[in-house]
Amino acid sequence: MKIGLFGFLFVMWILILAGGGILVTILGPFSISGYGDFDLLLTSILKAIIAIILVIVWILILSKLKNWIFKKEIKS
């Protein structure tokens, strides 16, 4: 098994921490104003879209990493 899967777990953990940092520092204080009753709804929708984009980026990074580890493990 070597170090590959432990490294994969560690990178996942770092990505979770980094994602949390982005959510709290950028997404948390973010709000839209000027649309009256729709402010909260629009803010929520935008936050949801950004969060989904973050998850997609997270999955793409992990996919690349998975392919790299899997190929490396087979070669060794």
Partner 1 sequence: MAELIIPAIVSCIVAFFTVYVTTPPLIKFLQKRNLAVKDMNKKDHVMVVRPGGPSIIAGIITSELVLYGFFQINEILAIIITSFIAFVIGYVDDRKVMGGWFKPVALVIASTPIIFLGTYDSNLSFPLFGTVQIPALYLGLIIFMIPITGNTINSIDVLNGVASGFMIIASFSLSIALFILQNYEIAIISLPLGFVSLAFYKYHKIPSKIFPGDSGALTLGAMYGAIAIVGHVEIIAAVALLPAIINSFLFLSSMKRIVEHRQIKGKPVEHTEDFKLKATSDKTAPITLVRLILASGPLSEKQVGYAIFKLTIFSGILAIITAFMRVLI
What's the CA gap between 66 and 21, in Å, rounded?
24
53 binds partner 1 (CB under 8 A): no
What's the CA gap between 22 and 58, in Å, rounded?
12
31 binds partner 1 (CB under 8 A): no
What's the CA gap between 44 and 27, in Å, rounded?
10
54 binds partner 1 (CB under 8 A): no
74 binds partner 1 (CB under 8 A): yes
Which residue of 56, 59, 61, 68 would you call a contact of partner 1, by CB under 8 A?
Answer: 59
Nearer to partner 1, 1 or 34 (CB): 1
The secondary element (H helix, E strand) that includes residue 25 is none
